[in-house]
Chains A and B, each alone.
Chain A
Amino acid sequence: MSLYALVVDAAARTPDALAVSDLSTSLSYGELDARADRFAAALRARGVRPGDRVVVWTGKTAEAVAVAQAVLRIGAIHVPVPRGNPPERVARIVADARAALVVTDHDGQVPGAPSLSCAALAHAAAPGTRVAHATVGAADPAYILYTSGSTGTPKGVCLSHGNALAFVDWACRELRLTAGDRLANHASFGFDLSVFDLYGAFRAGASVHLVGEMLAQAAEPLVDFVLERRITVWYSVPSALVLMTEYGDLRARGPGALRACVCAGEPFPLNRLRDLRRGWPGVRMLNWYGPTETNVCTSYEVTAADLDRTTAVPIGSPAAGNVVTVDGGEIVVSGPTVMLGYWGGEPRTGPYRTGDLGRYGTGGLLEYRGRVDTMVKLRGYRVEPAEVEQVLVAHDTVRDAVVLGVGTGGRSCLHAFVVPEAGTTPEFAALRRHCASFLPAYMNIDALHAVGKFPRTRNGKVDLAALSGLATTGADA
């Protein structure tokens, strides 16, 4: 069973049903199926072979979804890269993935990589052209999601058709998705939350409504979107819901047609969660947990019983057929959704150690307790401070840099501590501009502190706790 079969099957059952809709284009299952086949023929004509990596560097469009389906249909590996990534970072991803082709829908160029626009791809095969779909096994790679890497270079998490289907099957059952559902897709295509929105919808024959990168961070129009599109199932990082509540009056204006609201990627601020639970008693609320390497591996349903709670909601019980244990305080996962490995690295063997701290608490429910290392979660995105530090030290005014995550939940942000080059003064706006040329927007710094030297611990390491103290006292440069 392949991941691409979900659209093929839905198109056979209900060709006229709405499959995917962006702000300007809607495709029925029949149309998506035909377009995917046409793109697949064009990719084959361009020499893309089974197992090749195709980087799809686009906005969140129905067309890009068709390209992804095409990549899978020819047995190639889909590498989604959000349009907002600067060319320098895309180039590093293309190099790491050793991509056969970059498909774009804009003017951005990746030097040295063969690239093709969606429009050119559409013209490369006549309408109605079909190619035989590749035979793929459950263990064959389907897609690679690039996350921030602790070595300073993006890291590719490689997932199989079987990994994705095990999660999607579980999620569809858990949420009882039907063809009548209308899912929003808030996360970027490069973020594993999209796997549920897209493939969950396709498996159920439901529709998925794409939220573009700009709309995704516009609180009030986003609430309009949920209501106008009569969204029934919402899945996002909690910070999106918090923003929609604070700036878009979500709780009072909603829930509209919403029947389920699912969050993952970071802890949900308790007060906000209780407000929504109290305001929308008829909407199911779930708290899902899992790093990109495992997709969702635990789940907790938030109920009226949580209204009196004074501690964070648990991340819950093992999900999607996984076994989740705690070893030396660290959450360890094995099971059908756990990745094949990092692209270019050794195949994974044995359970996956998440680097997240956890504890089984009352009622046998897993609780999240923070990180083993310095990795930061910002609005659900993983940020390895080393990747940002490497970019900062490349600036003329920066001799040395340490980056720290400060705060929790939707309030967390990145603070940069820099030692200036002699005779220069690092400027916050200039460094943000510099970072924006090399990093996606969510990895940009939120505050800058210039220091003469870094405080050190007795054994000579940078004293992160002392720096963190500087951040909270507001000693801005």
Chain B
Amino acid sequence: MADVDRATLHDRLLGYVRDDLKAGTEAEPLTVDSPLLDMGVLDSVRTARLLAHIRSEYGVRVPPGQMTGEHFRSVAAIADLVLTLRSQAASL
């Protein structure tokens, strides 16, 4: 995909985390601001799958220096990271 706006990215990442990584409940649906780390969503296998998804869908690899709790605390934070990495890749 050539470019992606923030709102679309939020929707698509939210769908992935909710449906493929099975986060959120009926009583407490997942939102872009849900605290993924506090909810215990991102264990090692889910993290590996999420990174593979980001690489195949959005064409960016997350470098080790960006693997912080800050960047993965919510879907919105992950979307920001993806957008930053995509703009860095585009400017190379």
Contacts and interface: CB of A to CB of B under 8 A. Distances in A.
Nearest to B24: A429
Contacts of A243: 44-45, 48
Contacts of A218: 44, 47-48, 51, 62, 64, 67
B39 A220 contact: no
Interface in B1-53: 22-28, 37-40, 42-45, 47-48, 51-52
B68 A214 contact: yes
A239 B43 CA distance: 13
Contacts of B66: 221
A228 interface: yes
A217 B38 CA distance: 15
Contact of B69 (A213, A228, A379, A433): A213
Interface in A200-258: 212-215, 217-222, 224-225, 228, 239-240, 243, 246-248
B61 interface: yes
Contacts of A221: 51, 61-64, 66-67
Nearest to B35: A436
Nearest to B18: A429
A352 B29 CA distance: 48
A225 B85 CA distance: 18
Interface residues of B, number: 30
B45 to A, nearest CB: 7
Contacts of A247: 48, 51-52
Contacts of B45: 243
Nearest to A84: B37
A108 to B, nearest CB: 11
B24 A212 contact: no
A133 to B, nearest CB: 34
Contact of B64 (A228, A433, A441): A228
Interface in A404-453: 427, 429-430, 432-433, 435-437, 441, 444
A222 B27 CA distance: 35
Given A212-B69, A435-B40, A429 B64 contact: no
A220 B40 contact: no
| SS of B interface (majority) | loop
A23 interface: yes
Interface string A59-95: 1000000000000000000000001101000000000
Contact of B48 (A214, A219, A239): A219
Contact of B40 (A224, A239, A240, A433): A433
Given A427-B26, A429-B22, A217 B64 contact: no
Nearest to B48: A247
A228 B67 CA distance: 14
A222 B63 CA distance: 9
A406 to B, nearest CB: 15
Interface string B57-76: 00001111111110110000
Contacts of A432: 39-40
A215 B67 contact: yes
B25 A427 contact: yes
Nearest to B68: A214
Given A228-B64, A430-B25, A436 B38 contact: yes
A220 B61 CA distance: 9
A452 to B, nearest CB: 23
Contacts of B68: 23, 212, 214-215
Contacts of A24: 65
B44 A220 contact: no
Contacts of B22: 429
Contact of B65 (A23, A84, A219): A23
Given A59-B69, A433-B25, A225 B48 contact: no
Given A219-B48, A429-B22, A433-B28, A441 B40 contact: yes
A440 to B, nearest CB: 9
B25 A429 contact: yes
A429 B28 CA distance: 9
Interface of B: 22-28, 37-40, 42-45, 47-48, 51-52, 61-69, 71-72
9 closest cross-chain pairs (CB), A and B: A436-B40, A217-B44, A247-B48, A215-B67, A225-B64, A429-B25, A221-B64, A430-B25, A444-B40
Given A218-B44, A247-B51, A436-B39, 9 more contacts: A217-B42, A219-B48, A220-B48, A220-B52, A224-B64, A240-B44, A243-B48, A246-B48, A433-B40
16 contacts: A23-B67, A59-B69, A84-B37, A214-B37, A217-B48, A218-B48, A219-B47, A220-B48, A220-B61, A221-B67, A243-B44, A379-B44, A427-B26, A429-B23, A432-B40, A444-B43
